[in-house]
């Protein structure tokens, strides 16, 4: 059961302390915030893109995709005018492909109903496809300076520790809003998230290096139990093995001018995971009478809660897998799964 927030005497939410708290946090952020490309802009398109990419994905994994995606789709009009397959192809490797589909749908709605412009407030942003409360607040505060707080996992944890109490969602948002800096709301929101990501870490907060320790009930040792710690056991990963066939041949075009091809299979559009995407032919049952020479390499790959051991075979047709020969030149235009991308890269094919 969630505890009621205990507003300690030194809580940043009492008396005239919020102002000093905000100053200290923003001062720290100005000097210590990481240099990230989406922090160099107030363009709502770029901020929106970064926020969607960063959902469930590490910053390091997003950086390169963000750059490439912007090269291909420099603005909302370019994104809206592209096919969904082209967008998915550019998203390949980031996972959680529903985000890319919603991004595409949202871009089309912006062009059709908003003349290609982002609405300038969180309420109107919230009405767009794929934009929830957090993303709407992030875009509105960072791009348009609206005084609206964001709450993500990092902010929630920082708030709980500051107050020394467990908070449920109905309590967290009002506390975040009360703490917000009205002059620099976008920077303040990013500072809270940055603090959670780099200092107030989930399992080992670095309180001695924290710019707001003197306002923090947990950092000052006033609570018996760290309210920001996730006490739920980590989800257990299941383990599976699969066998993939990596087959390559010279092009078979009539004029003999087609380049090399690889054999790929398109997943059903009804699949819940990665519908419609292309991948190497694969099977979950070890092929019978497999010669030792057929095994090229073994990879480890994780998708959501499953760890896969992937045996990649060469010159071996898998019984159940048909597939189509696809020109390697076409691969940048079609959506391929992250695992297939990883294998094709390792094989020097892309």
Nearer to ligand SF4, 57 or 198 (CB): 198
Number of residues that bind ligand SF4 (CB under 6 A): 14
Residue 154 sits in the site that holds ligand SF4 (CB under 6 A): no
Residue 138 sits in the site that holds ligand SF4 (CB under 6 A): no
Residue span binding ligand SF4 (CB under 6 A) among the ranges 128-136, 154-162, 164-172, 283-291:
154-162
Residue sitting closest to ligand SF4 (CB): 219
Nearer to ligand SF4, 95 or 228 (CB): 228
List the x/- string, 169-208, binding to ligand SF4 by CB under 6 A. Answer: ------------------------------xx----xxx-
Residue 24 sits in the site that holds ligand SF4 (CB under 6 A): no
d(CA 31, CA 115): 38
Pair 296, 344: CB distance under 8 Å: no
Q: If we measure between CA atoms, which residue out of 267, 257, 327 comes closest to residue 303?
A: 267
Among 76, 106, 179, 210, binds ligand SF4 (CB under 6 A): 210
Among 25, 79, 165, 216, binds ligand SF4 (CB under 6 A): 216
Residue 212 sits in the site that holds ligand SF4 (CB under 6 A): yes
Give me the least distance between CB of 199 and ligand SF4, in Å please: 5
Residue 127: Cβ within 10 Å count:
11
Residue 11 sits in the site that holds ligand SF4 (CB under 6 A): no
Among 82, 213, 282, 316, binds ligand SF4 (CB under 6 A): 213
Residue span binding ligand SF4 (CB under 6 A) among the ranges 114-122, 125-133, 158-166, 234-242:
158-166
Which of 40, 51, 146, 271 is labelled catalytic? 51
Pair 236, 48: CB distance under 8 Å: no
Give me the least distance between CB of 3 and ligand SF4, in Å please: 16
Nearer to ligand SF4, 191 or 265 (CB): 191
Nearer to ligand SF4, 29 or 308 (CB): 29
Residue span binding ligand SF4 (CB under 6 A) among the ranges 35-43, 157-165, 178-186, 268-276:
157-165
Tell me, yes or no, if 166 is annotated catalytic. Answer: no
Count of residues for the chain?
350
**Beta-bridge partners for 297:** 312
d(CA 153, CA 15): 27
Own/partner long-range contacts of 64-73 (Cβ < 8 Å, ≥24 apart): 65/90, 65/91, 65/93, 65/94, 66/37, 66/38, 67/37, 70/46
d(CA 237, CA 304): 8
Burial class (CB within 10 angstroms; exposed 0-12, middle 13-18, buried 19+) of 52: buried
Q: If we measure between CA atoms, which residue out of 236, 229, 226, 227 comes closest to residue 203?
A: 229
d(CA 99, CA 106): 10
Among 22, 46, 104, 161, binds ligand SF4 (CB under 6 A): 161
Residue 343 sits in the site that holds ligand SF4 (CB under 6 A): no
DSSP letter for 274, please: S
**Which residues, 6+ apart, have CB-to-CB distance to 47 below 8 Å?**
38, 41, 138, 139, 142, 143
**Which residues, 6+ apart, have CB-to-CB distance to 34 below 8 Å?**
59, 194, 198
Nearer to ligand SF4, 150 or 262 (CB): 150
The catalytic residue positions are: 51
Q: Which residues bind ligand SF4 (CB under 6 A)?
A: 158, 161-162, 199-200, 205-207, 210, 212-213, 216, 218-219
């Amino acid at each position: 059961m969630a505890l009621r927030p205990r507003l300690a005497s030194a809580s940043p939410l009492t008396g005239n302390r919020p102002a000093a708290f905000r100053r200290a946090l923003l001062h720290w952020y100005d000097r210590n915030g990481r240099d990230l490309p989406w922090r160099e802009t107030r363009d709502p398109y770029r901020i929106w893109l970064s926020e969607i990419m960063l959902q469930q994905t590490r910053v390091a994994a997003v950086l390169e995709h963000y750059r490439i995606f912007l090269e291909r789709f420099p603005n909302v009009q370019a994104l809206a005018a592209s096919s969904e397959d082209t967008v998915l192809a550019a998203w390949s490797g980031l996972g959680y492909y529903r985000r890319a589909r919603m991004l595409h749908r949202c871009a089309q709605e912006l062009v059709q109903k908003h003349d290609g412009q982002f609405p300038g407030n969180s309420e109107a942003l919230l009405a767009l496809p794929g934009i929830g409360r957090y993303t709407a607040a992030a875009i509105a505060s960072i791009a348009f300076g609206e005084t609206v707080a964001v709450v993500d996992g990092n902010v929630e944890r920082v708030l709980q520790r500051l107050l020394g109490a467990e908070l449920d969602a109905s309590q967290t948002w009002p506390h975040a809003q009360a703490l917000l800096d009205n002059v620099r709301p976008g920077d303040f929101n990013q500072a809270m998230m940055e603090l959670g990501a780099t200092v107030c870490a989930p399992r080992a907060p670095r309180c001695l290096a924290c710019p707001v320790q003197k306002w923090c009930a947990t950092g000052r040792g006033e609570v018996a139990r760290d309210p920001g710690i996730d006490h739920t056991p980590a989800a257990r990963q299941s383990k599976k093995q699969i066998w993939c066939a990596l087959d390559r041949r010279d092009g078979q075009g009539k004029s003999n001018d087609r380049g090399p091809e690889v054999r790929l299979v398109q997943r059903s559009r009804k699949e819940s995971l990665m519908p419609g995407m292309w991948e190497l032919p694969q099977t979950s049952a070890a092929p019978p009478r497999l010669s030792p020479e057929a095994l090229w390499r073994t990879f480890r790959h994780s998708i959501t809660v499953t760890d896969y051991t992937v045996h990649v075979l060469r010159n071996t047709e898998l019984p159940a897998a048909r597939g189509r020969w696809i020109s390697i030149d076409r691969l940048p235009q079609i959506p391929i799964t992250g695992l297939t991308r990883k294998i094709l890269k390792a094989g020097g094919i892309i």
